Amino acid sequence: MSNHEYPGHAIPKSTIVGSYFALLFLAAVMIGLSRLDVDRFGIDWMDLHAFKSVLIMSVALVMGIIVSMFLMGLRYESKLLNLTIFLSNFVFLLIFVLFTWTDTSFRGEVDPSFNQKINFTSPIKVEEESATPEKAPAPAAPQAAPAAEAAPAK
Amino acid sequence: MATASTGLPEHHVAHHFDSADQEFDSAKTGMWLFLASEIMMFGALFVGALVFLTLHPAAFREGSHHLDWRMGAINTFFLLTSGLTMGLAVIAAQAGQQAKVRLNIIISLFLASGFLVVKSMEYAVKIHHGTLPGRLWHGEGFHDPFAHIFFGLYFVMTGLHALHVLIGMSLMIFALIRSRKVQFTRSYFTPVEMVALYWALVDLVWVFLFPLLYLIG
């Protein structure tokens, strides 16, 4: 009984069950990481919150790889066409993500007027406290503030 | 084969295919193309979320703190377990065990409806707090003027995902009906395999959606 007589590939039950428990474990790791209070460590030479986020998304990436490799059976895919579809899809997604992200995250470094939020009206009424959420001193503030007040009149 | 025991007719390879192998492969290639387009569609939303997270991390954090990670964790368990039962359904279909195929699909259906119940409970809380997207927003007590964008992303992303869960459930029901009409064998298990592939995509999207919305920030 060579495998060529039959379509597809029989994925062993142990693989499916094993990857299920691996996924459950990784999900628990992910939740555990997110509950971790990083301020307790008292490390100030690096942004532990950002590091934690990167770590959590990396665990998600590993989970994604397990799902696509074993549950979707990519590991057993032998057809070049299907692999090409998947890999080119991944490459295009990467181009999409990286180019958009690098574009938008460094806007305004050369010309700060790029940061202005033109006609941005927030439905949120910021009344409490100092109302300076990190980025408020940027040129966006003078534009956004009057617009926000004008919004309820409409 | 097990045909005699179930009394169901065996599947015949359509006349424009050479073999069962070829028939299965063309179905699978079509499915991969479709899944690729699905990944690109969700990819656009993930890019939107990533850009928003980079530009307004404080707003993202504020929005994220309004979500209950316990609800997300229960849903993650539901989806991962239904992914397992769909995988087991494919194995049972390959072995020609009709009853096991049905049992596994029915368990998956229950888990999927559990997911939707938890999701609707979450939505009810959000609607109550007025953190709806766009013009419908009437949430109060927020500090960041960009916090509403998080909920716009939240509703669109989880809403589109929930729609996929619904479609996946309809496909499971289709596979159940199919299992009453034709005998699944090692040469013919295409419907179960394709539904399981679709369901794995639903899993795949959730695996990224859950940490992004609930755990980061």
Question: What's the number of CA atoms in the CB half-sphere (13 Å) around residue A143?
Answer: 11
When CB atoms are compared, the residue of A23, A93, A126 closest to B39 is: A93
Q: How far is A131 from chain B (nearest CA, A)?
A: 7
Pair A136, A82 in one domain:
no
Per the model's pLDDT, the better-predicted residue between A54 and A105 turns out to be A54
- Closest in B76, B138, B142 to A27, CB measured: B76
Query: How high is the pLDDT of residue A138?
Result: 44
Distances (CA, A) of B67 to A118, A127, B72, B73, B210: 30, 23, 8, 11, 11
How far apart CA B160 and CA B42 sit, in angstroms, is: 9
Is residue A8's pLDDT more than 90?
no
- Give the number of other Cβ atoms within 10 Å of residue A74's Cβ: 17
Q: Do B148 and A93 touch (CB under 8 A)?
A: no
pLDDT (tens digit per residue) in A43-99: 778 888 888 999 999 999 999 999 999 888 888 887 888 888 988 999 999 999 999
Same domain, A118 and A149: yes
Mutate to test the interface with B, among A13, A61, A66, A72 (most CBs of B within 10 A): A72
Q: How far is B164 from chain A (nearest CA, A)?
A: 17
* Distance (Å, whole) CA B115 – CA B31: 24
Using CA atoms, how far residue A44 sits from A21, A47, A56, B204, B214, in Å, is 36, 7, 20, 35, 25
Look at the alpha carbons of B126, B129, B132, B136 in this order and tell me if their dihedral is positive or negative. positive
Do A48 and A82 fall into the same domain? yes
Last-in-domain residue among A90, A105, A120: A105
pLDDT score recorded for residue B197: 94
Residue found by looking up tokens 């990519």 in the block = A74
Whether residue B51 and residue A67 make contact (CB cut-off 8 A), yes or no, is no
A95 shares its domain with A49: yes
Report which listed range, A2-6, A138-142, B11-15, is most confident. Answer: B11-15
Per the listing, tokens 């926000």 go with A148
Instruction: State the pLDDT at residue A9.
Output: 76
Q: Residue B166: pLDDT band by 50, 70, 90 thresholds? A: very high
Of the candidates A61, A65, A70, the one whose C-alpha atom is nearest the C-alpha of residue A30 is: A61
* In the predicted structure, residue B114 carries a pLDDT above the cut 80: yes
Please report residues of A whose CB lies closer than 8 A to that of B18.
Answer: none
Residue A2 binned pLDDT confidence (cut-offs 50, 70, 90): very low
Residue A2, CA distances (Å) to A7, A30, A41, A51, A71 in order: 11, 41, 58, 49, 23
CA atoms of A116 and B97, how far apart (whole Å): 63
Distance in angstroms (rounded) separating the CA atoms of residues B104 and B169 = 13
Task: Give the closest of A23, A56, A86 to B36, CB-based.
Answer: A86
Q: Mind listing the domains of chain B with CATH numbers?
A: 19-215 (1.20.120.80)
The pLDDT of residue A23 is 97
Res. B40: pLDDT tops 70: yes
Note whether B144 contacts A: Cβ–Cβ < 8 A: yes
The burial of A84, by beta-carbon neighbours within 10 Å (0-12 exposed, 13-18 middle, 19 or more buried), is given as exposed
User: Is residue A76 located within the same domain as residue A49?
Assistant: yes
> Would an 8 Å CB–CB cutoff place B186 in contact with chain A?
yes
The answer to whether residue B34 scores a pLDDT higher than 50 is yes
CA-based diameter of chain A, in Å? Answer: 76
CB A23 within 8 A of CB A67: yes
Query: Are the beta carbons of A20 and B24 separated by less than 8 Å?
Result: no
- The alpha-carbon gap from A40 to the nearest alpha carbon of chain B, in Å, equals 16
pLDDT of B193 over the 90 cut: yes
Question: Taking the alpha carbons of A133, A135, A137, A141 in that order, is the dihedral positive or negative?
Answer: negative
Query: How would you write chain A as a 3-class SS string?
Result: CCHHHCCCCCCCHHHHHHHHHHHHHHHHHHHHHHHCCHHHHCCCCCCHHHHHHHHHHHHHHHHHHHHHHHHCCHHHCCCHHHHHHHHHHHHHHHHHHHHHHHHHHCCCCCCHHHHCCCCCCCCCCCCCCCCCCCCCCCCHHHHHHHHHHHHHHC
Q: Give the per-residue pLDDT at A106.
A: 83
Whether A100 and A143 map to the same domain: the answer is: no
A27:B189 CB<8 A = no
Give the whole-number percent of chain B exceeding pLDDT 90. Answer: 66
pLDDT of B35: 94
Q: Give the model's pLDDT for residue A148.
A: 43
Of B76, B145, B186, which has the smallest distance from its Cβ to A124's Cβ? Answer: B145
Tally of structural domains, chain A: 2
A94 and A116 in a single domain? The answer is: no
Higher-scoring residue by pLDDT: B53, B3: B53
pTM, two decimal places: 0.85
Hey, are the CB atoms on B87 and A133 less than 8 Å from each other?
no
Q: Answer yes or no: do A86 and A145 share one domain.
A: no
Query: So what's the pLDDT on residue A145?
Result: 43
The whole-number pLDDT of residue B10 equals 84
B124-138 per-position pLDDT tens digit: 999 999 888 878 888
Give the number of other Cβ atoms within 10 Å of residue A120's Cβ. Answer: 14
Taking the CB of residue B58, how many other CB atoms lie within 10 A of it? Answer: 16
* Residue A97 and residue A31 in one domain: yes
Asked whether residue A86 falls in the same domain as residue A129, the answer is no
Q: Which of B18, B19, B32, B194 to mutate to test the interface with A (most CBs of A within 10 A)?
A: B32
pLDDT at residue B142 tops 70: yes
Q: How many CB pairs under 8 A join A and B?
A: 176
With CA atoms as reference, the chain B residue closest to A61 would be B208
- Tell me: do A71 and A144 sit in the same domain: no
Range of the domain at A98: 3-105
Q: What is the CA radius of gyration of chain B?
A: 21
What is d(CA B73, CA B202) in angstroms, rounded to the nearest whole number? 16
Instruction: Check residue A127 and give its pLDDT.
Output: 58
Contact between residue B195 and residue B86 where contact means Cβ atoms under 8 Å apart: yes
Residue B135: closest C-alpha in chain A: A123
Q: Which comes out higher in pLDDT, residue A110 or B153? A: B153
pLDDT the model gives residue B5: 57
